[in-house]
């Protein structure tokens, strides 16, 4: 995927239904459920044996930037809008994009001790923001402040449309990836379907890194 340059404001990029996205290139990203055998505890594996993990099987991805900020647009089909954690068995819909801090970080294990990864994580019960996570292996994600990732999401006709927007550079913040025009990096995706009880490693993900070039 190439993130083309568009001379528009960042707030224009942040609109999932904004005009700027109409002619943006989109790529279909196939997702697959994290296998039960990879779930990090026996309780989770035993509880999900024979059940479908990761019910969302694909998403459409577009990317644009305006020289200052990068915008990533994700759209996927989801028959139920799950917005809250008001009851013990309510889990919200969610999505994340993942970047390696340096090329070659392992994706399947969410990074490793010396090859960390950076996840921008949106949840439907936390509108407007995404959590900036760093991870060094399964179960090690840590939320850190200062990355300032904005989000805007709309649920319509059985689809989520979501934009992540972040300044290319976040000088002085080393817990999030630094991006520059002209750079090619890698990106991966995850989607959580709340109504299926998906949280943590119970999710659909893109099993390979995809290339992302910033024009």
Partner 1 sequence: MAKSRTGRMIDGAVHRPRRQLAMVFDLNKCLGCHTCSIACKTQWTGDEGMENMWWTVVNSLPGKGTPKDWEQMGGGFDAEGNAKPSRLPSREEFGEAWKFNHEEVFAGGKGSSTHLKPNSNPRWGPNWDEDEGAGEYPNSYYFYLPRICNHCTHPACLEACPRDAILKREKDGVVLINEKNCKGYRFCMEACPYKRIYFNPLKDTSQKCIFCFPRTEKGVAPACARQCPGRMRFVGYLDDEQGPVHKLVHEYGVALPLHGEYGTDPNVFYVPPLSPPRLDEEGRIVEEEPRIPADYLRHLFGPRVDGVLAKLQEEIAKKQRGEGSELLDTLIVYSWPKDIFPDFAQDPAELPVHASGGQQR
Residue 145 dihedral angles phi and psi, to the nearest 5°: -90, 165
Q: Per CB under 8 A, does 136 bind partner 1?
A: yes
Q: What distance in Å separates the CA atoms of residue 40 and residue 38, rounded to the nearest whole number?
A: 6
Q: Per CB under 8 A, does 83 bind partner 1?
A: no
Q: Which of residues 138-167 bind partner 1 (CB under 8 A)?
A: 138-141
Furthest-apart CA atoms within the chain: distance in Å: 51
Site string for partner 1, 111-130 (x = CB under 8 A): --x-----------------
Kindly state the smallest distance separating residue 80's Cβ from partner 1, in Å. Answer: 17
User: What is the 3 state secondary structure string of 130-162?
Assistant: EEEEEECCCCCCEEEEEEEEEEEEEEECCEEEE
- Pick the binder of partner 1 from 3, 31, 39, 209 (CB under 8 A): 39
Nearest to 95, CA basis, from 207, 203, 213, 211:
203
- Pick the binder of partner 1 from 9, 41, 180, 208 (CB under 8 A): 41
Q: What distance in Å separates the CA atoms of residue 138 and residue 15, rounded to the nearest whole number?
A: 32
- Pick the binder of partner 1 from 7, 22, 23, 42 (CB under 8 A): 42
**Part in contact with partner 1 (CB under 8 A); list of ranges 25-33, 132-140, 146-154, 158-166:** 132-140
- Are 215 and 2 in contact by the 8 Å Cβ rule? The answer is yes
Binding site for partner 1 (CB under 8 A): 39-44, 46-47, 84-89, 113, 136-141, 199-201
């Amino acid at each position: 995927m190439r993130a083309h340059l568009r001379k528009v404001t960042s707030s224009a990029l942040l609109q999932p239904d904004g005009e700027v996205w109409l002619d943006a290139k989109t790529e279909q990203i196939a997702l697959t459920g994290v296998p039960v055998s990879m779930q990090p505890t026996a309780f989770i594996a035993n509880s999900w044996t024979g059940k479908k993990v990761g019910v969302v099987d694909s998403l459409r991805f577009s990317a644009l930037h305006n020289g200052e900020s990068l915008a990533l647009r994700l759209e996927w089909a989801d028959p139920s809008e799950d917005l809250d954690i008001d009851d013990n068995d309510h889990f919200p819909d969610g999505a994340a994009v993942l970047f390696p801090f340096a090329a070659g970080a392992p994706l399947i294990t969410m990074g490793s001790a010396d090859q960390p990864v950076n996840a921008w994580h949106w949840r439907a019960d936390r509108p407007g923001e995404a959590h900036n996570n760093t991870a060094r292996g399964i179960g090690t994600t840590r939320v850190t402040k200062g990355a300032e990732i904005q989000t805007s999401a709309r649920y319509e006709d059985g689809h989520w449309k979501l934009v992540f927007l972040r300044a290319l550079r976040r000088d002085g913040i080393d817990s999030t990836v630094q991006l520059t025009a002209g750079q090619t990096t890698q990106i991966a995706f995850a989607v959580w379907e709340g109504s299926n009880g998906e949280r943590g490693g119970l999710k659909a993900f893109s099993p390979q890194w995809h290339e992302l070039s910033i024009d």
